[in-house]
Structure 1
Amino acid sequence: MEYRLIYCSRNRIEGSEQQIAVEIEKILLSSRRNNEQQNITGALLFNGLAFAQVLEGPRSAVEAIYATICEDSRNSHNVLLETGDITKRDFARWSMAYSGPDNDGKLYQHLKLTDCEKDASGVAKRVLDLLKSVVHAHV
């Protein structure tokens, strides 16, 4: 049985747009390398203010990666949106897919931490649906 975890957190990366982009690239390189080793797949959404991420794979590996993320100083206020067993991975082909600001430079305005705290399951569904639509559009 596979396991999925969805969370959101506040961005704590400071600096210019270019400095933030470099730090996001470091996160992606490390995530992709570590996830491949642990048989984890998923996707990361970043809007400049917050992160939302889906992690899929063996439960112990997903929970260990999430614990590491919670300790990472580049984010804070982690809110666990959803966890549970799944029958099929939604991001099976992606060690870590990524979606940032869209082509028009607009951010995903509807990713707000206050919503996460009020309606975690609703936000989890929106995050999952959004990431699936973005990622699958690029397959």
Structure 2
Amino acid sequence: MLVRLLYASRAAQPLTGDIIDSILAQSRAHNPAHGVTGILCYSGDVFMQVLEGGRDAVCELYNTIVRDPRHQQVRLLAYEEISERRFASWTMGQVNLARVNASLLLKYAEKPVIDPFSCSGAASMALLDELIATASVLGKAQ
């Protein structure tokens, strides 16, 4: 059974390029063997991530993230059984916020920033879908 999970968290420490690279490298190394695909979006100290795959693999990975000291205030935004993946060709995509138009962010939030803590899980997922549609995502290769 396939599931999709969307969560948000805050970085426990200020984000650096090395921390982001480490998280992405770990995801890209771990996820293919476990059948997990997804996308990671970050801005300032906020992470928003979609995980897709088998129920056990996705739930175990989410539980690992909840316990990860790099994350705090981990919040489950959406969880659903799915018939197909949205991110089937992604081991872990990364949103390039430099390419994001502020008006797109304002479509889903009160301010032109990524803040999944102040909007619904459905709005956060819709924003991620639009980011992909506007080619604001890096790292599609598996």
Q: What is the 5 A alignment of 1:10-49?
A: 10-14=10-14, 20-49=16-45
Q: Deviations over 1:83-131 (max 9, x none)?
A: 0111111111111111143158x9x743225414xx33333433x3244
Q: Secondary structure at the match of 2:84?
A: coil
Find runs of 4+ consecutive structure 1 residues off by over 2 angstroms.
Answer: 119-126, 130-136
Q: What is the 5 A alignment of 1:19-98?
A: 20-98=16-94
Identity of aligned residues (%): 33
Q: Secondary structure at the match of 1:102?
A: helix
TM-score with structure 1 length normalisation?
0.80
Q: Which whole-Å CA distance do the structure 2 matches of 1:60 and 1:5 have between them?
A: 12
TM-score with structure 2 length normalisation?
0.78
1:2 and 2:7 aligned = no
Amino acid at match of 1:125: A
8 Å CA contact 1:56, 1:89 repeated in 2? yes
Amino acid at match of 2:113: H
RMSD, aligned CA: 2.4
Q: Which whole-Å CA distance do the structure 2 matches of 1:2 and 1:66 have between them?
A: 15
Q: Which whole-Å CA distance do the structure 2 matches of 1:130 and 1:79 have between them?
A: 22
Q: Which runs of 5+ in 1 are unaligned?
A: none
Q: Deviations over 1:55-103 (max 9, x none)?
A: 0000100000000111111111011110011111111111111114315
1:101 and 2:104 aligned = no
8 Å CA contact 2:12, 2:69 repeated in 1? yes
